[in-house]
Amino acid sequence: MAIVRAPDADGAVRAALAVCEAGIRLVEISLTTPGGVDAIAKVRAEAPPAVLVGAGTVLTARDVDDVRVAGAEFVVTPALAESVDAAVAAGLPVAAGALSPSEAVAAVQRGADVVKLFPASAVGPAYLRGLRDPLPGVPFMAVGGIDAEAARAFLAAGAVAVGVGGPLVGDAATGGDLAALRHRAQELVSATSRTT
């Protein structure tokens, strides 16, 4: 999953559409982006139908309502915020942020479809392997400080997915080279498809 944060909606749209062109099929647009809800609507309207467009850093029930209306197809939270319950109630798939075993179990009990292990780089793939032993049925997605090498390691440790932000997007959302972004995205797709 590509995680797009930008200083404005136009930058987010440009970067999101570029990663879609490169073969990434899950794109999260963070609500820390000014105009993020508008960016979600624009990307959903312009991205290929096979791409799922979601909203990240979703914290409140109001956020859930706003992104659902904009066309978001999933919600990602950084923690066990009220948005988890609101997304479940709205029928939107949700990746709920958690770090500890207790938070992971609570996320699943509240209806999360995926547990976003965050910040994954702070604990590493060995930590995920440790969580998988007592919690084999919990689908974990590693997010936070992930690059292509870390993505392969987390997938090998049992993550069902990874979320890659800054190392993937780079400066493309602030006017940087979109061709370089497409190249990084293609490399990420290639690297992770060999792992899965």
* Residue positions annotated with a catalytic role: 28, 116
For the chain, the three-class secondary structure string (H helix, E strand, C coil) is: CEEECCCCHHHHHHHHHHHHHCCCCEEEEECCCCCHHHHHHHHHHHCCCCCEEEEECCCCHHHHHHHHHHCCCCEECCCCCHHHHHHHHHCCCEEEEECCHHHHHHHHHCCCCEEEECCHHHCHHHHHHHHHCCCCCCCEEEECCCCHHHHHHHHHCCCCEEEECHHHHCCHHHCCCHHHHHHHHHHHHHHHHHHC
